[in-house]
Structure formats: structure tokens, C-alpha cells
Amino acid sequence: MIGEHVQGCRGTIAVLLATIVVAGCAARAKKVVLNADPGSRSGAVSAEHVDSNWALAERRFRRGDWDQAMAALERANLEMLPTDPRRTRMHFMTGESMFQQGDYLQAAREFRHVSDDTPGDPMAPDALLRAGDSFAALWRRPELDPTYGQTAMATYTEVTNRFPGTPQARQAQQRLTELQNQFAWKQYRAGRYYMHLKAYDSAILYYRDVVATYPRSPAAPQALVDLVKAYYKMGYVEDVKETCGYIRRFHANAKGVAALCPSDSAPS
């Protein structure tokens, strides 16, 4: 009986000890959780550490050390609270670093993150302008797929619409004009290609598109001159007269106009 009682006491003591150990572990775990920063993705990070890393990122960014700036910015993205007001500038700096390294598509996404998620931020106009620059940089060869060039034009137009009267809007308009000129020459060269193949109807379509879509581009006068040549080839007398009249009125100094469009403008 005494042995059984002792054995029972030992069991009870073991259970009590186990309970105490478990309770202690739980208390320590709770303390760890409470000490963790709920807004940080990487666990408990002191504000001093975040500030130090951010200062490092800004120094590297200012001196154009793009690789090292990106590394510091990536750490800042992991360590900053979601509500940290520096996040907007962080995305802009990340986009600029990517742009300088030639990663234009990712740069555009970072810039759009700034302009779309924080449209009232002072950096939003610059970010949207740089997004347009990123898409324009992706359109390296105008003779190929124009998708990125068209996206750049749409983005520059968005800058002028969303932020009218700002320096960024004026810059966007200038770059939009440059892109339009590139598109005009692209269409003009396509017309010349079909003229070379003696596919005059196709050439006429491209020349007309240049004149109608980009009337103020440097390519427009030359497209009109070549359009008259195509009309001559096709024997379109009335079209020759009408187009020559337009050229003499608006582009009288264009090369070859005097010889191509005499007073009667009739095909020989």
C-alpha cells in the first residue's frame, strides 16, 4: 500500500513538473511573439536598423551605385512597415535604379506603382513621366512591334491629362511629339517599301496615313510628295491636282514640289 502511494505521488509530481515546463515555454513563446514587430515581414527589426539601412540606400542611390542601391532597397522593402511614408520614395528609387540598369519593364511597373497607388503624392507626376520613358526605351527598333511605343505615347498623354500645366506635362508633350515623329517615319518607310515593289495602292495607303495621322511631323511633306508620285503612276489625275494644291498651300518649300506640281498639276 505504501509503495503504491509513493508511486502515485511520483506520478503526480511528474505531471506537475511537465505542466510547469509547458506553461513556462508558452510564456516565453508569448513574450517572443509580443516582441516581434507585427508590421515587419522579417520579424523584429528595430527602427534604428531600418533608418540606418534607408540612409545607406539613399547614399548609394545618390552616387549612382545602382547594384548596391538595389540591394539596400530590397532590404528596406522587407523591413519597413506597410504604413512607412518612405515607401513611395522607395518604389521610385527602385524604378530609377532598374531603369539605369536597363530593366525597363520592371522599372515601368515600379513607377506606375507610385503614380497609381499614391496619385496625390508630389512624386506621382515624375513617376508617371518616367514610366513613359521606360516604355519608350523598350521600343528600340521602330520598324518592329510598335506595342511599347504606343504604350509610351499613351502614358505621356496620361501625364498631360492628369497633371496639366506642370513641368512634367510639358516634358511629356515634348516626348510625345518625338514619338509621333518616329511613328510617322515608320509609316513613311513602309510606303517607300511598297513603292519600290510597285505596289502603288499599298504605298498610297501608308502615305495617306502619315498625312492624316501625323500632319505636323517632318515626314508629312515628304509623304505628300511621294503620294503625288504614286498618283502619277496610277494615273489618278484628280488626286494629283488636289494633292498638289494642298502641297503648294501648306508645304510649298518641300523638296521637289516645283517640278512635281506645275501649275496645271496634270500627269504627263
Full pLDDT tens readout for the chain, 268 residues? 444 444 444 454 444 344 434 444 444 433 333 233 444 444 557 889 999 999 999 999 999 999 999 999 999 999 999 999 999 999 999 999 999 999 999 999 999 999 999 999 999 999 999 999 999 999 987 777 899 999 999 999 999 999 999 999 999 999 999 999 999 999 999 999 999 999 999 999 999 999 999 999 999 999 999 999 999 999 999 999 999 999 999 998 888 888 888 765 444 4
**What is the C-alpha separation between 120 and 232, in angstroms, rounded?**
57
Give the DSSP per-residue string, the chain.
-HHHHHHHHHHHHHHHHHHHHHHHHHHHHHHHHHHS-TT-TTS---HHHHHHHHHHHHHHHHTT-HHHHHHHHHHHHHHS-TT-TTHHHHHHHHHHHHHHTT-HHHHHHHHHHHHHH-TTSTTHHHHHHHHHHHHHHH---TTS--HHHHHHHHHHHHHHHHSTTSHHHHHHHHHHHHHHHHHHHHHHHHHHHHHHTT-HHHHHHHHHHHHHH-TTSTHHHHHHHHHHHHHHHHT-HHHHHHHHHHHHHH-TTSTTHHHHS-SS----
Q: What is the pLDDT of residue 263?
A: 64
Instruction: Check residue 44 and give its pLDDT.
Output: 56
* Contact between residue 146 and residue 152 where contact means Cβ atoms under 8 Å apart: no
Supply the pLDDT for residue 152: 97
CA pseudo-torsion sign 17, 20, 26, 27? negative
> Domains, the chain, ranges and CATH?
46-164 (1.25.40.10), 184-268 (1.25.40.10)
Cell of 14: 511528474
